Structure 1
Amino acid sequence: MNKIIFLFLLSLVLLPLHVIVVVGLGSWTPIKDVKDPHIVEIGQFAVSEFDKLTRSRLTFVKVVQGESQVVSGVNYRLLLEANGSKLTKQFVAVVLEKPSLKSMNLTSFKPIIIN
């Protein structure tokens, strides 16, 4: 009987911890230093991949801000500036990085439209 009570009490303690861990995964977290060389590399990768796909002749300028999300790797959602046709434009890019596989994949690249 004591084992059952002990297991019940233990489950009451561990269940909230499990919920905290699960809620933390998948949520977007702001990137504090967008000038970090790794973040800049991801931004350059996003512009380069988009340019390869569209031949848009964009040139990376900088990462303005960003967020990261832990999934089966790390998603990076970055607000980027890139030069194209003599204009600097802003884009939102999402890159999935899988460090264990040493791979990056551009999953989204959209211009910011200002009315």
Structure 2
Amino acid sequence: MRYHCLVLLSLMLVSYAACSDAVLGGWRPVKDLKERHVVEIAEYAVSEYDKRSGAKLKLVSVVKGETQVVAGTNYRLVLKTKDGSAINNYEAVVWEKTWLNFRNLTSFKALHS
């Protein structure tokens, strides 16, 4: 009986890993850049950057995005922002643990064309 349980558990884990979209440690493209949660992460990144730097950026759109499963989820987003009349792109990385209601802006840097 014990052997059968171990075999069944192993098969379940293998099939879960084969079907899972989330690859631990690897970056995966965001499928829908306009999805509400992705936009919330982007707005958080801009707001947090503004608080830390004193900038007054406004989010225009999410240009590109990737996620990485870690102890939570990293979001690496390319953001189009507006500062007055200037439009610039930034790369933001936000670490989120939804079960703890936790977000942290880990990097925010200008991208030069």
Classify the TM-score, shorter chain: 0.7 to 0.9
Q: 1:1-115 maps to which residues of 2 (within 5 A)?
A: 17=14, 24-114=23-113
| 3-state SS of 1:24 partner | coil
Q: Identity of counterpart residues, as a percentage? A: 45
Work out the CA distance in 1 between the residues paired with 2:23 and 2:46. 29
**Aligned equivalents of 1:36 and 1:49: distance in 2?**
20
> Which has the greater radius of gyration?
1
Letter in 1 for 2:62: V
Return 5+ residue gaps in structure 1 as ranges.
Answer: 1-5
Root mean square deviation of aligned Cα: 2.4
TM-score relative to the length of structure 2: 0.80
How many pairs were matched up?
A: 103
What is the deviation of 1:85?
Answer: 3.6
Q: Which runs of 4+ in 1 moved over 2 A?
A: none
> Which secondary structure state, in structure 1, belongs to the residue aligned with residue 39 of structure 2?
helix
